A and B are shown apart, each in its own frame.
Chain A
């Protein structure tokens, strides 16, 4: 099956700064794909190159099996990172307009706009001007505009940022609906829980370079077990080489310099402590993200140091 999006050695430079550096990945048709990375990592530039908004300085990117942009873009729905609609426009008008420029006949676009407004729970606001809506509402309208023509490929740049938890749930439900009807969904984020909830495969970009790419389950599996969690009355002296965190009778032991689960269990047994619960810990995507980004940045200490701090702080 041809890829929904294929980037080959994609490179973009702004002056002396390389913002995307030889990124290669492919998104299969019909999957939900996560494009991860800290702020300023090159995710948005990668998306803009894919959509022919900006041109790459090196490499190539193709959509929907290599269709020329002119043919592919009408089949794509796009929610930009920086949201904005014409403030003086009425909600129903702007949705109809967004449908029409994607090739929908006027009447169909009008009907679909009403339908989408019902779906995102904003039907009663259809005659309001955009400027009268909240930021979250505007974001939902823009999302509705991106999907109203039933695109084959949906690209969402930071779709959940700025939404309240209720609307995040709604947005996730809409993404699942689109996926269920067969659309490919790519979204960029630095919120790892969203990725774990929705994505089958991911690509992690930091400072313009691809750090990780593949099936989420396989990425996690490849990391192996990175610690154990033990629930007991008390804790024995921690075995050497482990990072220990104790809270309310639950102790977490992370394998920093090697270590194995049986060494922890043996310490409890040797101390004669009854173990209530013993579970193996696999790394969360958040752990993997922080670890990979930190590792990549520590190997490039110059410019990366400062921005790594910013990126990691925002993750918390």
Chain B
């Protein structure tokens, strides 16, 4: 006779084999490494184009207002004697932009900007650079050279962020690094959502199918309902763990190489402070939704009915994504914190908050404990629902009948 542990392990191994053998699971698991590898291949190509684009462009001008002083010394800027001459140079691709400073410039600020092609692809940099030359010319001779530099670059920011303890900390991250720090947890939140949809949806379908085709009768006359439920959830959790491990490992190996291709991106922000909570909440979320979906599968009488319910059950997982502007704008606000302490919304919310500025350690611990505790309680309840679902053979499934059967199921 099998012990409870042996029963759970047999069910779990079989379910793991089935889950990981699905084409959908394999495709989704390999999605992250494939995307990263593609990025590794594409990034140098994109960069070679970018490098070409960032090579110094040349521009020309005609100063009809007589305001440009010292522009002759600017290497990328050519002075033309007439508008026609400048336009000819533009047509011959000798320059990428041609500026005509209108005689009324001092009063109106009017400058005509000639360029080839659509404005979308025009080099905005030349416009900014010409604006800086104009600003320097306007104040040249009236103020010192340092002030001329400040006119062009009025502020060099030294950025500080308030830490969890309220103490300001110098923020030395580049813009690209900040974007990466936000997007890594955000992408994981999205992946978690999709993974939960597919994984727990599969579990729900598997339970409902076994019930619908009565395979379950052969199972429950062999192993206990709790073992069936626990084995299925354990297998799904293991499949989720494998999936996230593949993602993390590929991100750790390929990610830095991809980031090195992006200018100013710095290192991929896969620090322990980020990885540990992301991983913990990913698994806790997976476990919780797996248990809930298994319970729904057990309580319904057909795959079709179960699928209808699954969309409703998965909704809490999506709410934080829809509410992400609120969470990102104010990661310590009431909405974000409330969602953190509701077990079904906690995993996604925490990941979004981690990207948007962090979550206090005590909130992380409390939310994780609550999510896991809810999962364990619901596992026990789902096993009873599962047993009760069997007791309801021949009866119409109603909330009252189900509740009566759950009480009897012990």
Give per-residue flags for B195-224: 1 if the beta carbon is below 8 A from chain A beta carbons, else 0: 000000000001001101111011111111
Q: Contact between A53 and B220 (Cβ–Cβ < 8 Å)?
A: yes
Contact of B119 with A by CB under 8 A: no
Residue of B nearest to A12 (CB): B394
Contact of A100 with B by CB under 8 A: yes
A89→B259 CA distance, assembly (Å): 43
Contact of B385 with A by CB under 8 A: no
Greatest chain B CB density within 10 A among A53, A78, A85 is at A53
Q: Contact between A83 and B214 (Cβ–Cβ < 8 Å)?
A: yes
Query: Do A15 and B395 form a contact, CB below 8 Å, given A52-B221, A55-B408, A74-B1?
Result: yes
Q: Contact between B222 and A145 (Cβ–Cβ < 8 Å)?
A: no
Q: Contact between B218 and A145 (Cβ–Cβ < 8 Å)?
A: yes
Chain A interface main SS type:
loop
Contact of A201 with B by CB under 8 A: no
Residues of A within 8 A of B2 (CB): 74, 101, 103
Using C-beta atoms within 8 Å of the partner chain, give the interface range for chain B. Answer: 20 to 34
Smallest Cβ distance from A137 to chain B, in angstroms?
15
Which of B6-14, B184-192, B289-297 makes up part of the contact surface?
Answer: B6-14
Query: Do A85 and B213 form a contact, CB below 8 Å, given A74-B2, A102-B222?
Result: yes
Smallest Cβ distance from A154 to chain B, in angstroms?
12
Contact of B393 with A by CB under 8 A: yes
Residues of B within 8 A of A116 (CB): none
Size of interface on A: residues with Cβ below 8 Å to B: 35
Residue of B nearest to A47 (CB): B217
A199→B224 CA distance, assembly (Å): 32
A98→B214 CA distance, assembly (Å): 14
Contact of A205 with B by CB under 8 A: no
Query: Do A14 and B394 form a contact, CB below 8 Å, given A82-B214, A83-B214, A100-B10?
Result: yes
Smallest Cβ distance from B22 to chain A, in angstroms?
8
Q: Contact between A101 and B11 (Cβ–Cβ < 8 Å)?
A: yes
Smallest Cβ distance from B222 to chain A, in angstroms?
4
A55→B404 CA distance, assembly (Å): 13
A243→B223 CA distance, assembly (Å): 56
Contact of B213 among A19, A73, A84 (CB under 8 A): A84
Smallest Cβ distance from A107 to chain B, in angstroms?
14
Contact of B390 with A by CB under 8 A: yes
Smallest Cβ distance from A46 to chain B, in angstroms?
13
Contact of B391 with A by CB under 8 A: yes
Q: Contact between B394 and A78 (Cβ–Cβ < 8 Å)?
A: no
Enumerate chain B interface residues (CB-CB to A < 8 A). 1-2, 7, 10-11, 14, 18, 206, 209-210, 212-215, 217-224, 390-391, 393-395, 408
* Sample of 12 further A-B pairs with CB below 8 A, known A54-B393, A84-B212: A14-B395, A48-B217, A54-B390, A74-B1, A83-B213, A83-B214, A85-B213, A86-B18, A98-B218, A98-B222, A101-B10, A101-B222
